[in-house]
Amino acid sequence: MYQILQPDVAAPVAGVLFDMDGVVIDSERLFTRFWMESAADLGFPMTREQALQLRSLRREQGIEKMEAFFGPAANFDEIRAHRIELMEAHIAEHGVDEKPGIRELLALLKEKGIPCAITSSSALAVVRERLGRLGILEGFTALCSGKDVPNGKPFPDIYLAGAAAIGVAPEQCLAIEDSPTGLEAAWRAGCMGVFVPDQDQPDDVTLSRCFARADSLLDVMELL
């Protein structure tokens, strides 16, 4: 099921921009789990709600959040490094699943001749590894990393870079996101943001920035 929330900004879809974690691959639940485990290992009892607030944040914002949660004794970089260690060990052993509907959606975009790009906060090497492991890397026209632009989400840089990489104006791009931070970035870039909930539902502010809301990637196919 999908719902168009801002029909007045609708434009012919000439490109699609995908966040990766929580949209293309089912990895956000792992981020939440291992943020909590890492913080606990280092003496900071992080709640699920706090872990969710760290989604897609650039380092500077992550430091601010961590200190707001636990005070200056909480070293964001140390907790993050331990989180990466724990999460990568888990993925090396168990892998990571794709989100339902991604193969079907990529096939539809190929059939329609609509280019698409990954616009992820993750490093490019991680993007390639995750998508390559699942065998869907070649389904994307371009890969863009927030590590390669001046400002990470919620700044619009990564979505502007993604639109440029596929040669489409941002206003003609659907931008598929699962987090408020990512959706804000897409909205600030002028894209038609589509929120596909993963771990929680969008709040009113996020919904006000959405072109549409869809329950799954299969519903995005119907939206197209």
* Beta pairing partners, 16: 116, 174
Q: Would you give the DSSP letter of residue 97?
A: P
If asked whether residues 132 and 83 sit together in one domain, one would say no
- 56-to-150, 207, 222 alpha-carbon distances in Å: 15, 18, 27
Q: Which of 63, 94, 125 is the last residue of a domain?
A: 94
Residue 216 in this model has a pLDDT that exceeds 90: yes
Q: Nearest-CA neighbor of 65 among 73, 57, 86, 106?
A: 57
Banded model confidence at residue 57, pLDDT cuts 50, 70, 90? confident
Q: What is the CATH number of the domain that holds 204?
A: 3.40.50.1000
If asked whether residues 210 and 168 sit together in one domain, one would say yes
CA distance 69 to 140: 37
Q: What pLDDT was estimated at residue 10?
A: 86
Query: Where do the DSSP E strands lie in 76-137?
Result: 116-120
Residue 56 in this model has a pLDDT that exceeds 90: no
Domains of the chain: total: 2
Banded model confidence at residue 9, pLDDT cuts 50, 70, 90? confident
If asked whether residues 67 and 116 sit together in one domain, one would say no
CA distance 41 to 54: 18
* Single pTM value for the model: 0.90
If asked whether residues 191 and 107 sit together in one domain, one would say yes
Task: Count how many residues are written for the chain.
Answer: 224
> What would the pLDDT profile of 191-207 be if each residue is shown by its tens digit?
999 999 998 899 999 99
Can you spell out the DSSP letters for 32-62? HHHHHHHHHHTT----HHHHHTTTT--HHHH
Phi, psi angle pair for 21, to nearest 5°? -70, 120
Q: Which of 72, 94, 116 is the last residue of a domain?
A: 94
Structural domain of residue 21, as residue ranges?
2-26+97-223
- Quick one: tokens of 158? 């990564």
If asked whether residues 37 and 21 sit together in one domain, one would say no
If asked whether residues 134 and 178 sit together in one domain, one would say yes
Q: What is the CATH number of the domain that holds 40?
A: 1.10.150
Residue 58 in this model has a pLDDT that exceeds 90: no
Q: What pLDDT was estimated at residue 69?
A: 98
Q: What is the mean pLDDT of the chain?
A: 96
If asked whether residues 168 and 218 sit together in one domain, one would say yes
122 half-sphere exposure, CB direction, 13 A CA radius: 23
Q: What pLDDT was estimated at residue 213?
A: 97
Residue 208 in this model has a pLDDT that exceeds 90: yes
If asked whether residues 34 and 18 sit together in one domain, one would say no
> What would the pLDDT profile of 144-184 be if each residue is shown by its tens digit?
999 999 999 999 999 999 999 999 999 999 999 999 999 99
If asked whether residues 15 and 44 sit together in one domain, one would say no
